[in-house]
Amino acid sequence: MDLRHLRYFVAVAEERHFGRAAERLHMAQPPLSQSIRQLESELGVTLLQRTTRRVDLTEAGRAYLERARGILGDVEGAADLARRVAAGSVGHLTIGCVGTATYSVLPTLSRRLSDELPGVDFAFRGEMLVPDQLTALHDGAIDVALLRPPVADLSLAVEPLRNDRLMVAVPADHGLAARAEIRARDLARVDLIVHSADRRSVMYGVVLRLLHDAGVEPQIRHEVGETSTLLTLVAGGLGAAIVPEPVTALALEGVAYRPLVQPTASVELAVAHRADRTEPHLQRTVQVIRALV
C-alpha cells in the first residue's frame, strides 16, 4: 500500500464511478480498477460495491474513506509546512533592540514583519544595552539584535545598517536650549546624564571619547540603564545628555534637542545574530530589517 492507492480510492469513492475517477486522475480505467482490487486484497475487506451503473461504499469503505482523507490531508499539510519553513515563512524569533532602536525602528519594524512574514511568531525586547544583547544572543534569549558596534565577538554576524548623528538633549529652560547647535566644548561644567558605565554601555564610551577629544572634563552627575530614564532626568532639569538622533522620536515635554557639532558626532546601528544561525526565517527577517533601516 502507498499514498497512490489512497488517492485512487478517494477519487473512486467521491465520484462513485470508475470512469469519472479515471478521468479525474488522468489515467486509464483498467489500472485504476486493478489498484483498488489490490488495496481491498491487502486490507482483507470489501470497500466498494460495484454495479454496472455505479459504485457504492460499504460500511468498511465509508470508515476507510474518512481516515484516508485525513491521511492525505496530513501528508499535504506536512509538505506545505516544509515548503513554508524552507521559504522562511514560519518560525519563532525574538528581536532585542537598543534604546534608540526601540523608539525609532521597532514600531515600524513590527508592522512590516507582521505584513511580510505573517507565519513567523515575533517577540521583542526593548531598551537593551549591547552587553546584555550579546549575552542574550549566545544563550538564545534573543535571536536578532539591533545594536551599537563595535562588536569584537567573531562568533556573531554583524551587518552595519546606518549612522545616526548625535544630538544634545537639554532641559527646555536651560541656557543651551537657546542655541541652534551645540559644540562639545559647550558642555564643559554642564551636569551630564549618561548611560551606565557599570553595564558597559557603548554610548558611555562614545560620550567620554567625544568630550575628551574636545578637551572637556565630563561632569557626570547621573548614570542610568535605560534611555527613557535618561530623558526623564533631562526633563526634570537634572542635566544634559548626548543621545543618537532617533531618540528625538521619544518626544518628552521639557526636553529640547540640539545638533551636536563635532567631526565624530555619530554612532552606528547594526543588526547582529549568531553566525551559525542560518534558518530561512531568520535570514528573511534580517532582509526585512535591512530594507527598512
Residue after which a domain boundary falls, among 39, 62, 86: 86
Q: Are residues 82 and 96 in the same domain?
A: no
Percent pLDDT > 90 in the chain is 71
Buried b (16+ CB within 10 A) or exposed e, 130-144: bebbbebbeeeebbb
pLDDT digits (tens, 9 = 90+) for 175-213: 999 999 999 999 999 999 998 877 678 889 899 999 999
Question: Sorting pLDDT into bands at 50, 70 and 90, what band is 293?
Answer: confident
Torsion angle (degrees, nearest 10) of CA 119, 125, 126, 130: -120
| Confidence at residue 87, expressed as pLDDT on a 0 to 100 scale | 67
**Mean pLDDT score, 58-84:** 86
DSSP 186-243: GGTT-EEEEE-TTTT-HHHHHHHHHHHHTT---EEEEEES-HHHHHHHHHTTS-BEEE
Q: Are residues 151 and 278 in the same domain?
A: yes
pLDDT digits (tens, 9 = 90+) for 141-184: 999 999 999 999 999 999 999 999 999 999 999 999 999 999 99
**Mean pLDDT score, 82-95:** 78
Q: Are residues 66 and 106 in the same domain?
A: no
Q: What is the CATH number of the domain that holds 76?
A: 1.10.10.10
**Mean pLDDT score, 23-31:** 92
Mean pLDDT of all residues belonging to the chain: 91
**Mean pLDDT score, 47-56:** 85
pTM of the model: 0.68
**Mean pLDDT score, 38-45:** 92
For the record, the C-alpha cell of 182 comes out as 551645540
Q: Are residues 189 and 261 in the same domain?
A: yes
Residue after which a domain boundary falls, among 34, 56, 86: 86
| Confidence at residue 44, expressed as pLDDT on a 0 to 100 scale | 92
Provide the domain count of the chain. 3
Q: What is the CATH number of the domain that holds 186?
A: 3.40.190.10
**Mean pLDDT score, 38-65:** 89
Q: Is the pLDDT of residue 89 over 80?
A: no
**Mean pLDDT score, 263-268:** 84
Q: Are residues 191 and 259 in the same domain?
A: yes
Task: Provide the residue range defining the domain that includes 101.
Answer: 91-160+269-292
User: Beta strands of the chain (E only): which ranges?
Assistant: 48-50, 55-57, 91-97, 120-125, 144-147, 156-171, 182-183, 191-195, 219-224, 241-244, 255-261, 266-274
**Residue the block writes with cell 492507492:** 5
Q: Is the pLDDT of residue 52 over 80?
A: no
